[in-house]
């Protein structure tokens, strides 16, 4: 049996497990790629503290994934932390508990590193570099091209907690949400360029692609998302209550309350950068991190 490596990605909204092995051409073969929503970043913007309940949920998820790893005959899980763990005031408490209770070490990456890892994972699969990789997460949004990397303080969980109080949301709340997203993106450096292919990673893009596919023709194949698709889904989620969103074909129910913020981020990115189509990618930070491990002989910088 080839050596298998387990990586757990602890994001602001969900925890992911990737167990993979190396194939020819430095390709990644995923033996397991799973995720569960634990929302460690919930209400973290208010005071910057991780709640005990959110930490408990997340540590329990890592424990379940560790058991899954043992069943697949792999070693100890290495964890990666992203935006919430970068900024929370009590991250040290969480890291200590994770190590003491579960024997798990964690590497908390910077926003720039997070962007680079997602980019690495996508271009390694596509085989080309003229790509804009947009990673929309629960706590932040990263953009990476050959020209550089940008980490934006725009996340589905944080924006929903801070802005969306009503159910369904009011027009005023929606306008505030979109206005805030526009301001952050417009103030960021533009590292995109003409004729670049856009690829999207993260739960929001994945969910929107699933909704498009399930609500469209069953024979239409894997869905790409156009600028029009992003706008239509954003407006759909704006009109619906959280419970109504959860019943949509293709919707991941635990993302029903934050999908409007995700759709608003995606639509605004595509509108401001004039991107016509974005290709959902099943890769992301954990795949890029894995490419830097010793089992891979060739590491793309």
Does 188 reside within a domain? yes
Q: 126 and 258 share a domain?
A: yes
Its domain, for residue 51, covers 5-108
Q: Identify whether 290 is part of a domain.
A: no
CATH number for the domain including 137? Answer: 3.30.420.150
Looking at the predicted structure, is the pLDDT value of residue 300 above 60?
no
**150-201 pLDDT per residue, tens:** 999 999 999 999 999 999 999 999 999 999 999 999 999 999 998 899 999 9
Q: What is the predicted pLDDT for the residue at 217?
A: 52
**Total domain count, the chain:** 2
Query: Exposure pattern of 119-141 as b/e (b: 16+ CB <10 Å)?
Result: bbbbbbebeeeebbbbbbbbbbb
- Report pLDDT digits (tens) over 189-222: 999 998 899 999 999 999 999 999 887 654 455 5
- CATH number, domain of 75, equals 3.30.420.40
Q: Could you read off the pLDDT of 100-159 as tens digits, one per residue?
A: 888 888 999 999 999 999 999 999 888 888 999 999 999 999 999 999 999 999 999 999
């Amino acid at each position: 049996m080839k050596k298998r490596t387990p990586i757990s990605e602890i994001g602001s909204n969900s925890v992911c497990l990737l167990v993979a092995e190396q194939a020819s051409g430095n390709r990644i073969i995923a033996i397991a790629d799973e995720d569960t929503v634990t929302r460690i970043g919930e209400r973290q913007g208010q005071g910057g503290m991780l709640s005990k309940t959110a930490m408990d949920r997340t540590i329990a998820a890592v424990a379940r994934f560790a058991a899954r790893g043992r069943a697949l005959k792999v070693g100890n899980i290495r964890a990666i932390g992203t935006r919430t763990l970068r900024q929370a005031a009590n991250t040290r408490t969480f890291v200590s508990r994770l190590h003491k209770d579960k024997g798990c070490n964690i590497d908390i990456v910077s926003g720039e590193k997070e962007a680079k890892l997602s980019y690495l994972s996508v271009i390694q699969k596509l085989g080309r570099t003229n790509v804009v990789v947009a990673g929309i997460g629960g706590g932040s949004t990263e953009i990476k091209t050959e020209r550089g990397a940008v980490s934006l303080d725009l996340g589905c969980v944080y924006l929903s907690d801070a802005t969306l109080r009503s159910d369904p949301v009011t027009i005023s709340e929606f306008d505030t949400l979109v206005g805030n997203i526009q301001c952050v993106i417009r103030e960021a450096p533009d590292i995109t360029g003409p004729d670049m292919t856009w690829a999207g990673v993260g739960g929001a893009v994945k969910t929107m692609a699933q909704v498009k596919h399930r609500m469209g023709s069953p024979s239409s194949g894997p869905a790409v998302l156009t600028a029009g698709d992003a706008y239509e889904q954003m407006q759909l989620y704006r009109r619906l209550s959280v419970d109504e969103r959860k019943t949509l074909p293709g919707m991941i129910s635990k993302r029903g309350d934050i999908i409007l913020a995700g759709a608003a981020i995606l639509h605004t990115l595509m509108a401001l950068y004039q991107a016509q189509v974005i290709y959902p990618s099943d890769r992301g930070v954990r795949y890029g991190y894995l490419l830097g491990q010793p089992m891979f002989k060739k590491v793309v910088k």
